[in-house]
Amino acid sequence: MNYQIENKLALVTGSTKGIGFATALILAREGAQVILSGRSEASVSDAINRLLAQVPSAKVTGFVGDLSQAEAVDALVRKHPALDILVNNLGIFDPKAFEDIPDADWQHFFDVNVMSGVRLARAYLPGMKQRDWGRIVFISSESAIQIPVEMIHYGMTKTAQLALSRGLAESCAGTNVTVNSVLPGPTRSEGVSEFVNKLSGGQSFEDFEKTFFEQARPSSLLKRFTTPEEVANMVAYVCSAAASATTGAALRVDGGVVRSAF
């Protein structure tokens, strides 16, 4: 399939690893100009080198900054005043009992997972509307629909992203700008290793995976963690010109975890 995004400028936040990096890689292969973002010079440089090793012809640059902070978003917009594609992938998660989550954690999760996307969309959406073409994607989660008891604060932010993406899509009615959410299920990204260490009790990953899908996510039809590449395939499609009739949608790549046909 020709995604028809050659030379489109795409920003993928939180893209030095995991779903973000996998998405940036596909977009680069499709000819888009890609901005990789991360919080350290070392991680961004490493990600650029890894991407170029796989796509030597890629048009890729980097941005270093904490995009949960308004100052970093302002700096990014000064450097790149216009985008064609915005993938809001930046996010954090941490298993913690509700009773142990302090106010500061609630605020931090909201700033990282929600406000980063709010500020970036606010900065770039007007230009997309003016040019009458654009793609905005929020990487939400199946946890937006089935709030995980071990991460209620995380689930709350993922639900907020669904409301945000649908509202923005409504604001783009009649244009060639689309706004969607993609909802991965449990995904075997680098960040999952820490999650597994906290919950596994010393089990091997394979044993933990089996137990996790038997007990914590028994509704899964896949019965395994998805890969970042499996999720990125959906994200990249939604970013393409081929997905012109898909907007205001919450698209699941959850391995069948959510028990709903709709």
What positions carry a catalytic annotation? 154
How many C-beta atoms lie closer than 10 Å to residue 177's C-beta?
23
Alpha carbon distances (Å) from 143 to 29, 45, 95, 248 = 30, 31, 12, 18
- In Å, how far from its chain's centre is CA 110? 15
Give the Cα-Cα-Cα angle 23, 128, 157 (nearest 5 degrees).
55
And the tokens for 132? 């009458």
* Beta-sheet pairing, 59-64 with 33-38: parallel
Q: What is the DSSP string of 8-59?
A: -EEEETT-SSHHHHHHHHHHHHTT-EEEEEESSHHHHHHHHHHHHHH-TT-E
20 forms bridges with which residues in the sheet? none
Instruction: Please report how many Cα atoms fall inside a 13 Å half-sphere around the Cα of residue 203, on the Cβ side.
Output: 14
Give CA–CA dist 182/237, Å, rounded: 11
Give CA–CA dist 162/116, Å, rounded: 14
Length of the chain: 262
Chain position carrying tokens 């991407």 = 51
